[in-house]
Structure 1
Amino acid sequence: MNQLVQRFMWGILIGVTSTLNAQDPVTFNEVPLEVSQVDNENFLQTVRRSQESTVVVEMLGRDGDPLGIGTGFVVRSDGLIATNLHVVGEARPIRVRLYDEREFQVTSIHATDKSRDVALIKIDATDLTPLPLAEPGSLEQGEVIFALGNPQGLEHSVVTGVVSGFRDGVDEMKLIQLAIPIEQGNSGGPLLDMDGRVHGMLTLKSRLTDNLGYAVPIDAVHDLLESPNPVLMEQWLTIGALNPEQWEPQGTSVNWRQRAGEIHVSGQGDGFGGRALCLHRADLPELPFEVAVDVRVHEEDGAAGLAFHSDGNDIHYGFYPSSGVLRLTRFDGPTVYSWNVLQDQKTVHWTPNSWNKIKVRIEEDRLSCFCNDELIFEQMHPQLQSGKIGLVKFRHTTASFKRFRFGSELPDERPSPEVLARVNSLANEIPISRPIPIDFVREQTDLDMVGQKAFHSAAKNLEAQAQQLRVLAREIHEEQTRQELVAKLEASPPELIEAALLIARLENPELNVEEYRQTVDALAQRFLDSIPEDLPPAEILDAFHEFLFEKNGFHGSRTNYYSASNSYLNEVIDDREGLPLTLSILYLELAQRVGLTASGIGLPGHFLVRVDLPDEQKYIDVFDKGTVLTEMMCRRLVRETTGLPWNASYLDPQDATSIIKRMLRNLIGIANSESDLEAALRYTRTVLAIDPNSVEDRLYKAVLCYNTERWDEGLEEVRKVLQEQPPEIELGRVRELQDAILERQRESESGSD
């Protein structure tokens, strides 16, 4: 519970609520140390020297005006500067102002570490004076320190204090607790000892008291200096950006971002009421037609939804929730005096704090507005007859959108009476006091997403069965995904990228596999468009590596290697970092599309790619930005990472099934390390869907079923093994497992009577 609360409450990244897991008593009566208590003259000289190496970091809007301010400090004389990642933001231009008032645009993001909120940024400057970095772990509790920053825009301010403790943050990240105030603008500033050595980077303020803050230890900067992952600014600005061929955001102050198939919007629009539009560029069908989107508004008083019949400026219709009330408005100009609320209504069909589908049917003589496919109101004889469609938000609203679509007639996604009757019938059959049998789940895999939504609706009315219904919907989704995955691997040729994305969809049901496949296609086409048509294969390979690793910034995840995100191919594509295996899968798919012959090489402990050129074979370490390895280097890599003796078969190409099984075993390992039994079972079931004869996986699944109280499913696996009697398995231990499951099953059933 403590860990759950810790994660839920994490972070004031200077403005976002934060609570830390302080295991020791914390007192808040420390006050900043007065400068008069130290050697004043030496201290003042140290401050002046340090200020000259401290900078102002500004994140800019599209119009070039600052959207936020933070602090950074020089770590290398050629223009390398350390700061917080949240100061840099996402896909925004960044400007640095030195102590001598010179200004520079950031040319590249030299390295980032999301888990520790640290970034290194590069400017075109020379002969800068870097601050000396202290040795990691050399700071002690009670030590006198000072910090530099730009609190509330007051540039190059200094504050003194003491180290009051060391605390654990999220994901075992260590933080330095400081008896000093931290304000907006301090983020990224250096924490220094009295000799001017940097021991940390200011990052968090306390929500409990003004005179308490936190800093990331300098270890994080040392790590990034040793393992950079540079991305040029022109590529950084495209990370998470909307596709400009599809979307046209209006104005400069609102941040429209795209990730994992969702569009997220934050910030306040330039127009009256904070209105901001993001219009779709597609040609519209002739009237009548429908436009719909799923929207989630994150504030109770938020307002965001659909815009249509827009002239591209201030005139348009809007259908959206506003403070929980559905509203249809005609906007005839820039101010509230030209806004006409045509209809508004509070309805039970809108579910707060959840995804809701809103839809408008646009006809020549009427507008029909729907919420979750229920008609809310109609407006006859609309004055506006044509224009663009898109998204709109108001005020301070942060919102998320997905599944934006339009067409002559969009499908009604409400469950049919037959599906509802089936769900209600199933609700009476689902056991309440024990897990749902896997065979029962398999019988329902013909239900589509509409059917799964019906389960969620039924759960609201059947409180006693609600959790089981959600589990059933989830497991139907997982079983459907497994079936799709097996079909992709059995295709001729196997569809590796779709199979890899389906693994991510096990965890994220909303993931659109086709969208990410198209993203890979587009990335390959961009590369092909950048090279001459008659380039020899060896030169194609060199250009391909430069394109993938240098220009687009794909790199191995070194600072958060064991994160599950590194095994989800969609997140690897989004974040441009991953494990050797996931990066290699992307490499293989791109290589195939650009005319290179490549295959996966599954070395124990480290996955590689082999590229076959006309006169040689090259072993490529995609994790290390395309480093070419010799066979001898491969042997050494296996010995150093696993200690195993060399076997020539390690260099045999891996087929798609072997690659996907290895991907799943990585995720099982992560789930085990995090004691996530449900995730471990999810991926073990998937391994067995691919390889049903794996005795080891059957027994491991039985153990997981024992620990998650899935007695029947576990017994099924144990009995299969006992029936087949494989010679390599000690059957006595298997019978002990069977007896343990039966005993727990009897105890559970007797306890529920």
Structure 2
Amino acid sequence: MVITMFYKIFYLFLFFLPLQGKAPAPQENLKLAALYNSLDPTSFSQLFAFYDLYPDTEQGGLALEKVRSLFHLQTEAKRISLPTLDMQAILSLVNRQPHEIKEPLTVEQLTLIDHLAGHLYNRKLKGYYCRTPEEILALAPEELDLARALLLYQFDKESFLEIRRYEAMIDMMTLQVMARLSPHATALEKIDAINRLIFHEMRFRFPPHSLHINDIDLYTFLPSVLDDRLGVCLGVSILYLSIAQRLNLPLEIITPPGHIYVRYHEGNTLVNIETTARGIHIPTETYLGINTHALQTRTIKEVVGFAFMNQASVLSERKQYEETVALYEKAQLFLPDDPLLKMLLGMHYILVDRTKEGKKLFKEIKGKPFPDAIYPENLPEDYLNGYVTQEALAILFMHVDETRESILKKQHALQKALKTCPKFRGGLLQLAITYLQLGRSKEGLEILQKYHALDPHDPTVNYYLSSLSATRLQYKKAWFFLTQTKTLLSTKNHFPKALRDLEYELRHSYPESLHSSTI
């Protein structure tokens, strides 16, 4: 069981409160010595707390000396004199529980932390010394300090002290990680130490579905992630990368569709770090889908753009389309050639009656598969062919949560739109999904068959048709659509696990020798 620092410090305070301000009696001295020996010798937060409670005891002096040694473990800087000041606010950067009130750091405390963290690797990056968003844009990706870049965009010029406070929190977290590492620690040892701190001691978690579905932008922003210790995949990955930059730990940034995670890749060593699951390694194949045959590697600079895209998606669901466009345009500064961003921005240009600009972006990506995909997105083509109206387009961004009411609301809107836009493939697919969400596989199958009649070459739809046909015991149809899917994916020599699993089930339920290649 993980014992939080709050309870450890609370125990220290209650059990030894009578010792403060006077020399401990022999029996109490033994208890104090025993408590000192029970501390984690690599946790400067525990050692600081112990010293703060018992500064005039022998053990308190030993704790302070141990803190000094931890700070100097990986730096040859001159010994740092820890001044006499209130350490509680500094301690709270790591010890504070999410429900506790945050103690603002003074300039003196920030200066001390900056001095302690002066040897961290991100201080060598040009991006650490930027003071304006314009300076960030001018930098090459490898020169960017991710935390500074995102904080500069979130806070105005008058709030630089707030930026320093959040950076101080990341610095203290990094120093704690370093305290557990040898001077020549390997990359894998650094990863283990980061995982221990973030996920097991500070207990950062993915927010409950009911929260993140409404406030994905909130759980992306670095300040909110640090304050609440809750974050979606992008939010916690940003924190992880910010610490990695300080440790000179080279990590790759990987973006499967709708997701992001980080990984370490050196030679034959590849470790995926799933930040929504306490940093565990998940096999790379798990992230591949029917239409996803490869995973894109991104740069630090592109991550800044993703933060704006997450924020834009929330505003789009709220029908704040002008603000959504502004955020997508800001994201485009960091992702100028990203086809997904071009599609999303093009859609919202149309929603704000900037149709010419929307069509221009659609023409750039029409018929071209995304870098990680086998089959291209069909929305640009459908719109340019006149199959989609502005009203139908807006329905794609309607908010749906786990409630039946929200699903039915979107379903009815899609049904109405498809009466005037019967060839709108994206609308048909989303309508089918609403039926499947309601457990109505028969209706979902029928809608997907309409889609297939319009476009028989979409591998994802062929896979869904095979799976649903098998569920309804229509095995000949299931085999037909499975064969179609395999043929479509063979162009990239792609045979993902989901498809292999489906074929395995079919072979057991209805052997291939019995099926026909036609239906």
TM-score where L is the length of structure 1: 0.31
Structure in which a larger fraction of residues adopt strand: 1
Which structure has the larger Rg over C-alpha atoms?
1
